[in-house]
Each structure stands twice: as structure tokens, then as C-alpha cells.
Structure 1
């Protein structure tokens, strides 16, 4: 059996582990013979601070299915082309109310109103954001969000990207963020790829809280979410929880065996 778990809003709150009980339950799941796969929109640069908090895992699905790691080894890698990535970023940086981000195999930088910083450390840098992405040979993920909680400007670019770059990139909404990943990639495709890599014989469980988790919830044999999640997400899940450890307790306790 494999447990696919989101990070932000699921195991993490404001970048910090919600409860030690979740970590203990993940260890218990592994001790029972289960496989833990982190399934996130984050890039490899952003996952490191979470892992360093002691989160146990066997595999990582990153960039909404764009990359899959077996420990430290990448087993599947997809990229947004240099041409498409540059064109998309050229649009985003012209909007003064948008934060923009890009990651490639070497760096991840953020940009807002002319200022560039390393991400996720937020350490300012004198690097020229526009020059840096124009020099990139391709991108693992692009990201943007507004400087308010409104999604109107971001929605506009989500529609533009999915309409005009459908063969190059896919834009997923993740609460206020817009994750732009290689074409046809999602958490659902990442799960399908990893299960195939492992031999297609595992029962799958998935839990997440946001819109980009819908493909994960629908792909897994059992998909779960949280009491606080949007109704559109709850409608696709089989059960809602307050914490991940409660979901694991049900899995290991045989609740879903009875439901089969």
C-alpha cells in the first residue's frame, strides 16, 4: 500500500509540521510495510526545509507530477521548454501586482516589482531575474500569485497559459498560487507514473486539501481531504479529517478494508 500525501495545508501549516502525531503515524505506516510518497506542487528546493523537520518518506512527487524522486535520485523528469517558459515569464513580470518565480535544475528565484530574491530563503540578491530566466535552458516549474488574496489577475494568466501553451505547460490553481508545470503533468499523472514504476500492484491512498490535489484524490483507490477544505474538494473525497494521522489510523485499523 502507498500513501500519497500533500505538504502545505496537509502536513504543514505556514511551513511548519502541524503535529508530531502525523510524523509518528507516517513512521507507523512505513513500519507496517507501507510506502510514503510526498505529493506536492513544491520544487526540490522548497521541499528540503520540510524534510529537515523529520518527515519520513520513500518517494517524492514534485512540481505537481513534473518530477519523481526515489530518495535523492530523480526517476522521472519533465521540463517546460526554454522558449515557452521565457514567453510566460515575460508576461508575468509586466504585471506589477504579481510575484513571479522560476526553478530550473540549478536555482530558484522570486521577483516582485523589480526586486529579486532566492527562494524559499527570501534572501535578496543582485541577480537580474529577467536575465537569469532568459539564460535558463528550461524550467522545472514556474509560479505566480497576486500581492492580495484576490485571484482575478492570476486567473487571467491561468486561462491564457492553459489555452495558448497547452502543449508546453499546464497551470494548476493551488489556493492563491498558480503552479505552472510541464504539459499534461498533475499530481494524478505523478501517482500513475510512480505506481507503474513500482509494479502496478499497490493499493493507493491519497490526502490533500487544495484544488491541485483533486487529481490525486481521484486517482487513488481511496482519496481523503479535510474538514476545512472547499466543498468542491470534499465532494470528490471519500472522507474528511482534521489531521493526516487520523487517516492513517483508519487505513491501518482496517476501516477501508471494510469499505472495499
Structure 2
């Protein structure tokens, strides 16, 4: 039986209220102990993922970060990366600095997550809870992988995504994750990062699975041989996956139970009788 690889989204899949349940952490370890790979596939930055999984005893085998723009190993060493074009971050930050109901962030390879501006008062985001302020004048000193926009008005998010795509679509991709828009380098999705990892690093040795709750997981689900979303996922996402599950732990343990039953059947099945020797 070939080994399996499961790509895990974080926010809304494993992380709720900025916490990962013990049940999910235990199930991921069980998955790995059975000889399978666990890959974190997220729009979060490397710095943000480190904070998010710290203290839960989870050690992913690989990380697909910044919605596919970066792939890293278990030690957080970057294996491949793409960055946003020079000048684009300054332009995006300037355009959205005064936009009502929008907070503008930045993600780099060499700093904590940063915030450039916020027109959202009295709230904090569970998706991007840790950040440091950065003056736009500092932008040229860093290489940016993503510009996340928190849009605190569901009526605006589709229009802003369309504006970003029409304005910068030749050099960026813009992915929606619930109330965030993630601006990343062109041709970067969770699927492109997973394809690179699978083909260039793992040489196609693992059967791919995916689990994720939102729109930015759709390319990942299309890549996977088997995929799962949740009962609370948007309808478009539920319809795109093979399975709709209740929790990540339930999905993992269901697959492991099927594997165990299949192995037991193989053991119980009698060996074929030897053919009689030729006279």
C-alpha cells in the first residue's frame, strides 16, 4: 500500500479561536505514525505558522506557505520561493490606506507579519493575530511574499477582489479566505506549491489527500486524489470535495480505519494454491 500525503489548511480547518484542539493534534500524529506525510498548506507566513502551531506537539513534514509562494521543510528551511514585484507593495499599500473597513498587512521572508494601515476599529483578526507596525517607507528594505487584506464588510470583498485582479492580475494572484484577500505572486496557489513539492521533492511517491474549509483551498482540492471540506464550508467548496466531514480528526481517523481494515483483509485472505508441477 503506497504512503499517503495529506495537505492541511489551518484557519477554519485546524485552528479555531486561535487554538488547535488536542483531538486534531493527536490525529495528525496518528496519521504520521502510520507512515504518512502531513503537509501544512496555508495562506499564513512562515513566522505566523510557527506561532500558530507552537506548543501543540505538531511537527509537519513540509509547509506550503503564503498560498503556495513558499515551500519549506520540517525545519522551516525554505526549499523554493516567489516574491512580489518591486514597487507593487508600495502601490497596493497606498491604494488601500484609506479604504473603509480594510486593514492592510504584509508578509516577508525575513520579518514578523506587519501591518501598514487599519480602518477597522475595535476588532482583532483571528486569522492574522500577531503583527508589528511598519511604515510604508520601510517597504523597499524587504522582499515581500504577500499582502493580506482584512475586509470587514462581506458586501465589499468580491468587488475588491475583482478590482485587484483587474488592476494587478498580470503579476499577482488574489485568493479569498473567508474575510481575507491574499495578494501573492502570479501563478501561486496552494496547488502549485503542492505540485512542486510532490514532483520536484517527493517524486510522486505519495497518494495525495487534502482537507480545507474555504475558497483558497479549491485548487488544492482539485490537485488531490481525495479531498474533504466541512459542513460549514461555502457551498462551492463542499461541492468541489469528495467528502464533507465534521472535523479534521474524524476525516483522518476514518481513512486510517479503512487502511487497517484493508490490511486485516489482506492478512486473512488465503494464499493462492500452488499449481501442480508439469508431468
TM-score relative to the length of structure 2: 0.83
Pairing 1:239-258 to 2, within 5 Å after superposition: 239-254=243-258
3-state DSSP of counterpart to 1:206: strand
Pairing 1:142-161 to 2, within 5 Å after superposition: 142-146=147-151, 148-152=152-156, 154-161=157-164
Pairing 1:112–2:118 present: yes
Pairing 1:212–2:243 present: no
Pairing 1:63-74 to 2, within 5 Å after superposition: 63-71=66-74, 72-74=76-78
Gaps of 5+ in 1: none
Pairing 1:83-98 to 2, within 5 Å after superposition: 83-98=87-102
Counterparts of 2:239 and 2:130 in 1: how far apart (Å)? Answer: 36
1:22 deviates by: 1.2
1:37 deviates by: 0.2
Pairing 1:191–2:194 present: yes
Pairing 1:138–2:143 present: yes
Partner of 2:205: 201
Per-residue deviation, residues 21-68 of structure 1 (Å, max 9, x unmatched): 111111111111100000001011211122203223110100100101
4+ runs of 1 displaced by more than 2 Å? 105-108, 119-123, 135-138, 148-151, 154-157
Instruction: State the structure with more CA Rg.
Output: 2
Partner of 2:265: none
Please point out which of 41, 44, 61 is paired with 2:43: 41
Per-residue deviation, residues 137-181 of structure 1 (Å, max 9, x unmatched): 4311101122x34241x3333212222322321100110100111
Please point out which of 79, 85, 90 is paired with 2:83: 79
Please point out which of 164, 169, 183 is paired with 1:166: 169
Pairing 1:20–2:26 present: no
8 Å Cα contact 1:206-1:216 kept in structure 2 = yes
Aligned length: 249
8 Å Cα contact 1:45-1:120 kept in structure 2 = no
Backbone CA RMSD of aligned residues: 2.3
Please point out which of 38, 51, 54 is paired with 1:52: 54
Gaps of 5+ in 2: 122-127, 263-279
8 Å Cα contact 1:81-1:137 kept in structure 2 = no
Partner of 2:130: 121
